[in-house]
Structure 1
Amino acid sequence: MTIRVWGYTDEYETERQEILGAVDRVFRSGMLVLGRSVADFEREFAQYCGVEHGVGVDNGTNAIVLGLRALGVGPGDEVVTVSNTAAPTIVAIDAVGATPVFVDVDPLTCLMDTDALSSAITERTRCILPVHLYGQCVAMDPVLELAERHGLAVLEDVAQAHGATHQGRTAGSMGDAAAFSFYPTKVLGAYGDGGITITRNQETAAELRRLRYYGMVDRYYVESTPGHNSRLDEVHAEILRGKLTRLDRYIADRRAIAARYEEGLADTGIGLPVLAPGNDHVYYVYVVRHPERDRIIAEMSRIGVELNISYPWPVHTMRGFAHLGYEKGSLPVTEALADQIFSLPMYPSLRREDQDKVIDSLRTILSNG
């Protein structure tokens, strides 16, 4: 039986009665769209993150799109971010008509190299979009200082870091706004797509609410710039409300799994995750590195262990973004990482015996290399 890099079925069996109860409560409520479940979840999730406002949307990509639009980013603007991220980060920037400008990443943490930020700022820069990757935060003080100096907005991409902290501050609470995904694999995942954009600013929140509902303030009347149909649905919101009460437990389970990997693989030659200073990691994915990555993945697959690569193609190397003009070698650290990184199975319900097989198999493959 294959050991998956991610799975939800064991977790579902444990939580099944509560999940079905959540569905039943929504169906019996008489309100299927933008009802009490969404409103309650928005408030509870924002409070968990330490901010005042949350606006539930249909997916994490639109959480970024609407976040950018609410912060005034649009055609002709530049957004400074990284290429070592999932493509939706950059798709969202393109969707508002802005241009992504990439900086390289730190070779140890794989996070935005904040020392490179100042050289990427131009007169067209409107926003910095740090990606809290793999489960830990970008060092935000340099980002915030540079943004204040140049009058820029900061939108955090927290799709992979629900509950992570940096110097005691929760991911998503440090910038002007923050975008989250609730895709099923996430640290806090729904049973389908979902997302939220959070902010401390009441005006930004009001703009987000308008934009996610066609641009309407009152029903049937578009007030100014048209928005989208980007609403989080009631069923997912109610399921997420229950899962939010267990988020800290999910994170503790992930950290325990990470600790076992660290102990079991410490002397194998695999490059293990590096915790950045001031961070608490939530291990959305457990990303390691090795120069023989492709051989390792192939051999593990043959014995029934599924691994993944997050991500095999830096965004600036994709044909769909060739128009941005980045040549091979322009982001050397990002490109080098893409040839070596891979992810081990990581999810709260990963069985101890399955993790032991992953560790033992890796040790055998590497010792025979």
Structure 2
Amino acid sequence: MSCDSSVPFNDLARTPLDARLQIERAIADVLASGRFVMGPNHAALEDELAAYLGIGHAVLVANGTDALELALAAVGVRSGDYVVTVANAGAYTSIATRLLGGVPFYADIDPSTLLMSVATFETALSALPVAPKAVVVTHLYGALAPVADIVTVAKRHGIAIVEDCAQSLGARTDVAMGGTFGDIAITSFYPTKNLGALGDGGAVFTDSSDLAAAVRRMRQYGWDSKYHISHVHGRNSRMDELQAAVVRVKLPLLDGLNERRRRIHARYESARPSAAQLVNTSSPAFIAHLAVLTSDSRDRARDTLRAAGIATDVHYPIPDHQQAFPDFTPAPVELPVTEWASGAVFSVPMFPELTDAEVAQVRDAIDSL
């Protein structure tokens, strides 16, 4: 972010006073309790998240990448297994897959949504020598992919479905919430997420008691009881009590903050730029985690916005299949839309605490592109 930008890309210091005071009280209560790992806030947040999503189980873990890794392990991904995912989402699924010894295989994305589609998923399946163990459906930028239709195809082939809701918690269709369509889902509580902690944290969601139990065992050394190891892939991946207490304060505020984000995005949608286009439109299926545009003249567009005092960023500039993984060379694959998007996407400020004047400034700057 340019240091002289008058509208910041994000500003976590703008937490409203009432929420800040609630967070401070919650932290003080944890300190007074002497329970810092897997205490009452941890247990309560698991119940509250499951109730919010309308799903059977929520299991807290240390961060979103651990959540992906443990979700993939729970559905049976092992060394050599293929995992289908997209290549335009920051490589997080690729990293989690490689931690299990699995092999990421990339589907292209729809040119209008920049998400996996049924067509791109089926194209990826047809290119594989065997069926993948899992597909990770990433709900990128806060928008739901067509996950119900992808689930139909995956089930036909016996493929487990993992939903990545790190950028989409709270997005919903007329039928259900994102994160409840597949076999298992994950989110991240990284501070910039729509539901963010004051540090790292993550969660796994599922209606399956067996999958939830597997994740619970794996997150704590593979124990089925204290000091008794019974499950492969055990590790230490626990979300601490302070972070759980903070997220508990923020969870009841999530829908209202998501609605504020949608209203901001709707203002941006009123702009009519000739050399750029917003990827998403406001709806219940989009919680506006990011406000993303595409332009075939991205550098020029970002320079124009910078001159207008608007900070921007790129999510994401390097597709996974072009990354220089030290232990893995992705299979050659044609992903023309992914490669175009990596050179065209850029994001403008999107957070609920933006002032109306700042929103107008960003909107007018977009209009000038």
TM-score by length of 1: 0.93
Relative to 1, partners in 2 of residues 1:163 and 1:42: Cα closer, same or farther, differing over 3 Å? Answer: same
Q: How does 1:62-73 map to 2 (within 5 A)?
A: 62-73=66-77
1:308-356 CA-to-partner distances (Å, cap 9, x unmatched) read: 11111111111127611336xx100011111111111000101111122
Contact 1:60 1:159 in 2 (8 A): yes
Q: Is residue 225 of structure 1 aligned with residue 227 of structure 2?
A: no
State the SS of the aligned residue for 1:117: helix
CA contact (8 A) 2:131 2:159 kept: no
Selected match of 2:279 from 273, 282, 293: 273
Partner of 1:24: 28
Contact 1:163–1:282 (CA under 8 A) maintained in structure 2: yes
**CA shift at 1:14, angstroms?**
4.5
Structure-2 residue corresponding to 1:257: 264
Q: Aligned in 2, Cα 1:116/1:363: closer, same or farther, shift over 3 Å?
A: closer
Q: Distance in 2 between matches of 1:289 and 1:119?
A: 24
Match of 2:13 in 1: 9
Q: Which moved more, 1:238-247 or 1:315-324?
A: 315-324
Q: Which residue of 1 aligns with 2:322?
A: 317
- 1:175 pairs, out of 168, 172, 182, with 182
Q: Which aligned pairs between 1:209-220 and structure 2 lie closer than 5 A? A: 209-220=216-227
Question: Structure 1: which amino acid aligns with 2:188?
Answer: S
Alpha-carbon distance between aligned partners in 2 of 1:185 and 1:89, rounded to the nearest angstrom: 19
Which residue matches 2:347? 343
Q: Does 1:298 align with 2:273?
A: no
Alpha-carbon distance, 1:138 to partner: 1.1
CA offset at residue 130 of structure 1? 0.6
Summarize the Cα distance change of 1:22–1:177 in structure 2 as closer, same or farther, 3 Å threshold: same
The answer to whether the Cα contact below 8 Å between 1:109 and 1:275 also exists between their aligned partners in 2 is no
Q: Distance in 2 between matches of 1:58 and 1:233?
A: 8
Asked if 1 retains the 8 angstrom alpha-carbon contact of 2:268 and 2:362, the reply is: no
Match of 2:313 in 1: 308
Aligned equivalents of 2:52, 2:203: Cα separation in 1: 13
Tell me the CA shift for residue 120 of structure 1.
Answer: 2.6
Output the CA distance in 1 between the equivalents of 2:143 and 2:174: 11
Per the alignment, residue 116 of structure 2 pairs with 112
Of 338, 354, 367, the match for 1:363 = 367
Instruction: Give a deviation string over 1:118-172, Cα, whole Å, max 9, x none.
Output: 3433424111111011111111222111222111111101111010013431010
Task: Confirm or deny that 1:146 pairs with 2:150.
Answer: no
* Alignment equivalent of 1:42, drawn from 43, 46, 60: 46
Of 290-299 and 118-127, deviating more is 118-127
* Structure 1 residue 162 corresponds to structure 2 residue 169: yes
Structure 1 segments, 4+ long, off by >6 Å, are none
> Distance in 2 between the 1:51 and 1:223 partners?
26
Deviation per CA, 1:12-67, whole angstroms, max 9, x where unpaired?
54421111111011111221101110110011011111101011011000000000
Is residue 2:98 matched to residue 1:91?
Answer: no
Q: Does 1:56 align with 2:60?
A: yes
CA offset at residue 301 of structure 1?
Answer: 2.5
Where structure 1 has 5 or more consecutive residues not aligned to the other structure, the ranges are none
Q: Are the counterparts in 2 of residues 134 and 161 from structure 1 also a CA contact under 8 Å?
A: yes
Structure 1 residue 212, shift from structure 2 partner: 0.3
The answer (yes or no) to whether the contact 1:317–1:326 under 8 Å persists in 2 is: no
Q: Note the C-alpha offset of 1:108.
A: 0.3
Which TM-score applies when normalising by structure 2?
A: 0.93
Moved more, 353-362 or 244-253: 353-362
1 CA distance for matches of 2:85 and 2:273? 34
Kept in 2: contact 1:177–1:198 (CA 8 A) = yes
CA contact (8 A) 1:132 1:161 kept: yes
Letter in 2 for 1:217: D
| Alpha-carbon distance in 1 for matches of 2:362, 2:155 | 46
Instruction: State, as a whole percentage, how many aligned pairs show the same letter.
Output: 36
Match of 1:191 in 2: 198
- Tell me if the contact between 1:128 and 1:143 (Cα under 8 Å) persists in the aligned partners: no
Secondary structure of the corresponding residue to residue 280 of structure 1: coil
98-107 vs 219-228, greater mean Cα deviation: 219-228
Residue 81 of structure 1: aligned partner: 85
Q: Cα RMSD (Å) of the superposition?
A: 1.8
Structure 1 residues 50-59 or 120-129, which shifts more? Answer: 120-129
Does structure 2 retain, via aligned residues, the 8 Å contact 1:139–1:166? no
**Residue 137 of structure 1 contacts residue 279 of structure 1 at CA under 8 Å; is this kept in 2?**
no
Secondary structure of the residue aligned to 2:137 is coil
* Alignment gaps of 5+ in structure 2: none
